[in-house]
Structure 1
Amino acid sequence: MPEIVELLASPVRRYQGRPADGPEPAPPGELVRQIRIRAGLGIVGDRYFGRQAHRDASITVIAQESLPPGAGLAQVRRNILVAGIDVDSLVGSVLSLDSGDGPVRLRVNRAAKPCAWMDAVIGPGAWRALRGRGGVRCTPLDDGVLRLGPVVATTTS
């Protein structure tokens, strides 16, 4: 059964400037057990919540199977880490996730391309390894809550 492995709602951007300068410090509590989602706005408390420039990409989802061992959301800066769902193949679809509080639909708009920061925070070669497997950028279509653990996942065109 698919599951939600990690959730990230961070109020700050950590990767600014050059990777050689290192990331900004992580705020405490950015990895959470649940997230509250608002349709068209994103994740409550996240840095991209309600930002006009990010309305079609306010939530990012990545598959655990795409990441090197030991890497997680703190490094790749995506919002939802899932296992058992090939999210990179879902561009153009609607992904529905239900972790027990009702379904939350996400319109999968485009690939979330990795950047050079991946080599700095995960290790050399991570940027290249994540090309085509960096997750997806989504627009939330429903208000709802997602929690860690098993999830019912469905897709529609």
Structure 2
Amino acid sequence: MTSRVAALHTAPERGAPMVTVDRIEAEAGRGVVGDRHHGTRHRHVSVQSQDDLDAATAALGAPVTPAATRRTLTLDHGVVPTTPGARLVVGDVVLEVVRRAAPCRVMDTEIGPGAARALHDRGGAICRVLTSGTIAVGDGVELPG
């Protein structure tokens, strides 16, 4: 299944506001250059789907936007794999799923009361960067399956 990158967000440090960007530089084994998680061991890129945000919006009864969830990459549609070891190809960058991205209580502060519950099983995945390259809004995303 092919999806597209609908949105990209980074934050320069922990707790900093998310910044909407048109492209990011992914560095193999290090993450997104300029992002708060760059250089961490496994949490390089977080991936979510607009389909899941739409479902969370319906469950919450209030908008759940890509930036509010503090994820790096938002797909325009599709199911984000959450099984460790699954691979996504974004443009020419290969990402490997490390684990499911569980929404935390910060979502209730960022989005509104009940947001973490609305995002349960809709938080996407945490991935590591296997190959370096540029990821841009509009790039194709190959999902497994």
Q: Please report the TM-score for the alignment, with normalisation by the length of structure 1.
A: 0.78
Q: Which has the larger radius of gyration?
A: 1
Render the CA deviation track for 1:65-84: whole Å, top value 9, x for unaligned.
Answer: 11126333321111001122
Cα distance, 1:39 vs. partner?
0.3
Distance 2:83 2:117 in 1: 21
Query: Displaced runs of 4+ in structure 1, greater than 3 A?
Result: 88-91
Q: Percent identity?
A: 35
Q: C-alpha distance in 2, partners of 1:50/1:122?
A: 28
Which letter maps to 1:97?
A: V
CA deviations over 1:61-101 (Å, ceiling 9, x no partner): 01111112633332111100112221144543111111xxx
Alignment match, 2:71: 78
Residue in structure 2 matching 1:141, options 114, 118, 130: 130
Superposed CA RMSD: 1.9
Q: What TM-score do the two structures reach when normalised by structure 2?
A: 0.84
2:89 to 87, 96, 108: 96
Q: Which runs of 5+ in 2 are unaligned?
A: none
Give the match for residue 3 of structure 2.
2
CA contact (8 A) 2:102 2:123 kept: yes
CA change 1:88–1:152 in 2 (3 A) is closer
Question: Where does the alignment leave 5 or more consecutive residues of structure 1 unmatched?
Answer: 15-23
